[in-house]
Amino acid sequence: MLFLLYIALAVFVVAYFLAKRGLFKGDVFVASSVLGCAALMVIFIAYPVGKSLIGAFHPEDGVWSLAASASSFWERGASERIWGLGCLNVSAPSRCGVAWNTLYLGLLTAGGTVIMGTALALLAERHVRKDSMMQKPMQMLSMLPIITPPFVVGLGLILLFGRAGVVNQGLEYIFGIEPSRWFYGVLGVWIAQMFAFTPIAYMMMRGVVQGVSPSLEEAAQSLRANRAQTFYSVTLPLLKPGLANAFLVGFIESMADFGNPIIVGGQFNVLSTEIFFAIVGAQYDQGRAATLALILTGFALAVFALQRAFLAKQNFTTLTGKGDAGLPVNLPAGVRRTVLGLAAPWLIFTIVIYLFAFAGGFVKTWGRDYTLTLAHFKTAFDFEYGTFGGATSSSIVWAGTAWNSLFTTVKLAAIASPITAILGLLIAWLLARTTFKGQSLFEFAALLAFAIPGTVLGVSYILAFNAPPIELTGTATIIVLCFMFRNLPVGVRAGTAAFKQMDKSLDEASLMLRGNTLQTLRYVVLPLLKPALIAALIYSFVRAMTTVSAVIFLVTAENELATTYIIGRAGNGDYGVALAYCTVLMLCMGVAIALIQLLVGERKLGRRSAAPAPVLTNTAGMT
């Protein structure tokens, strides 16, 4: 850790020198932030990932040369299993390569999550009244999938649509259709990913919908535009930053997802599962895993470039220093029906999935003995209170087998999430409000951890930090760092979408009143970023609580996490305890989300709410 302290001191000294030389407009805080964030991303993202990916060019015989490296990469990366197009052969169809499978699934998932997330955001902000009894339940149901370990979603879907699931059994009983494995494959993975990643798009889009200025919509209506014209010509174009960022995050999440394809993918293989089996399979092949990860990174870079081109030279500012007393325009009838038609079935589907998933923790043996019991919860979370071992005072003994992993997980997630959120929003501010050389590379480095599958990131950390000068393997610190930089891009993208809507004059007004940069960030910018801050805090915390692939190689007996405990129980066939633990884990995350929203609060934009309908009274006989 002394090495990292020396790096921090060196960064501050260099930043101070550059600021005094006139760079970064002479602002020491901006210079320190840019250099500090860059140093963190180089040390904890670029260096470990680069060390891992360079294995794609490592010759099998270990003799380095340009020709041998190129040949090794070509042999590993140009195989039929990766790029084959046999599925397009009508006469003799076969499987497509895993690269095409991944790209196809990523586009499907990204498009679907953006549509569904936008529908939920419009429903929450433009249809359901703030004081409606449906507001809180709808928000809870929309957020519920994000606090769920990925294998719970897969298990719930299997209980519904698997060969022995309720749907197949019902079809056999009613229509005599023999149960099959129709759900396993691209359809099952796509539904599972839609279920898992739509809440991310919803959180990002809700903040963007809130930021659309009602005055602009009222101005369109004063020019005789109807609701539909106003929505399609004013409201929807102003949602472009959120739509583009939600699409990018959804695409990268789909590519890097490991849990859903491994559970319900069947014979449909994607790059993330291929990388996993290349690392933990019978034949350890780091070179093949690195090659596949490099292809995955290339896909992410291509979508990132397209997203930047889509938003280039367009202005989406809607939050300025001026007052805004306008009222949000109600959704057009056609849009309202479409939103309700999409959101209502999805919310109902959410309830059904969780009812099935929760039920497994309260029955003795799923599929054989459905007797209600709390034995699984007692095994995992039993505790005793009394005097033990000759002690003179009473104490609590955490007798359940899951307490240690739960305490460790909550502690490490609580440490990582605020740092992740603050660092992500700081990077977003630097990208939106400052200009410096290498800014595009800086932005891509912030997204690189998302483009790399969690399995590869975990192995990269093992390879990079297993020896001096930074020796972290086996400690809790390496898990916290993995949490931080794995989840960093969500804070960056949420902050970027928010800054696209904020006029720079707000920052400039604060600076003209002699506020320094740090004061401007604290008192002007941060209060307007509350939706993005909530999204970053919630996402980073719950993903730290539920992540699997990124930390599967980093945990130890001393630092066991909740997800590794659950996987171990499920691997031994003890699904009751595993599902009971998932239930407790989700309750803990629900409480944490409520606390985060309570502590951060709502963003106040100074806008009017719709006036209540007037009460009609009988005025007969009044003078």
453 CB-near residues (< 8 Å, 6+ apart)? 255, 256, 258, 271, 272, 275, 276, 293, 296, 549
584 pLDDT higher than 50: yes
Instruction: State the pLDDT confidence band at 405, using cuts at 50, 70 and 90.
Output: very high
Are 566 and 548 in contact by the 8 Å Cβ rule? The answer is no
Q: How many Cβ atoms from other residues are within 10 Å of residue 260's Cβ?
A: 29
Q: Which of 61-75, 138-152, 202-216, 579-593 has the lowest mean pLDDT?
A: 138-152
* Closest listed residue to residue 155, CA positions, set 500, 581, 599: 581
Are 592 and 417 in contact by the 8 Å Cβ rule? The answer is no
CATH topology agreement for domains 97-312+328-359 and 377-606: yes
Q: Provide the CB-side half-sphere exposure for 313 (13 A, CA).
A: 1
Question: At 5, which amino acid appears?
Answer: L
Beta strands in 236-368, from DSSP E residues, in sequence order? 363-365
Q: Which residues pair with 470 in a beta bridge?
A: 467
- Residue ranges per domain, the chain? 97-312+328-359, 377-606
**97-312+328-359: CATH class:** mainly alpha
312 pLDDT higher than 50: yes
Q: How far apart are CA 592 and CA 490, in angstroms?
A: 18
pLDDT of amino acid 14: 92
Mean pLDDT of 234-243: 86
* Closest listed residue to residue 489, CA positions, set 211, 251, 189, 152: 251
3-state secondary structure labels for all residues of 101-113: HHHHHHHHHHHHH
255 pLDDT higher than 80: yes
141 CB-near residues (< 8 Å, 6+ apart)? 347, 350, 351
Collapsing DSSP to helix, strand or coil, 186 comes out as helix
Are 489 and 497 in contact by the 8 Å Cβ rule? The answer is no
Query: Phi/psi zone of residue 313: left (φ > 0), alpha (ψ -120 to 50 degrees), beta?
Result: left
DSSP 500-561: TTB-THHHHHHHHTT--HHHHIIIIIHHHTHHHHHHHHHHHHHHHHH--TTTTTT--STT--
pLDDT digit string, tens, across residues 540-566: 888 888 887 788 778 887 888 988 888
> Between the ranges 134-143, 312-321, 464-473, where is the mean pLDDT highest?
464-473
pLDDT of amino acid 344: 84
Q: Which residues pair with 275 in a beta bridge?
A: none
pLDDT of amino acid 300: 80
* Closest listed residue to residue 68, CA positions, set 57, 76, 52, 55: 57
* Closest listed residue to residue 459, CA positions, set 446, 478, 442: 478
pLDDT digit string, tens, across residues 482-539: 999 988 887 787 777 777 767 777 777 887 887 777 788 778 777 777 777 777 888 7
pLDDT of amino acid 622: 45
pLDDT digit string, tens, across residues 597-610: 787 665 555 555 55
pLDDT of amino acid 157: 81
pLDDT of amino acid 62: 64
Provide the token pair at 341: 């038609």
Question: At 605, which amino acid appears?
Answer: L
The CATH fold of domain 377-606: MetI-like fold (1.10.3720)
Can you tell me which residue has the tokens 């949490």?
A: 483
Q: What is the average pLDDT value for the chain, to the nearest integer?
A: 80
Rounded to a whole number of angstroms, the distance between the first and last alpha carbons of the chain is 84
Q: How many Cβ atoms from other residues are within 10 Å of residue 129's Cβ?
A: 10
- Phi first, then psi: give them for residue 318, nearest 5 degrees: -130, -15
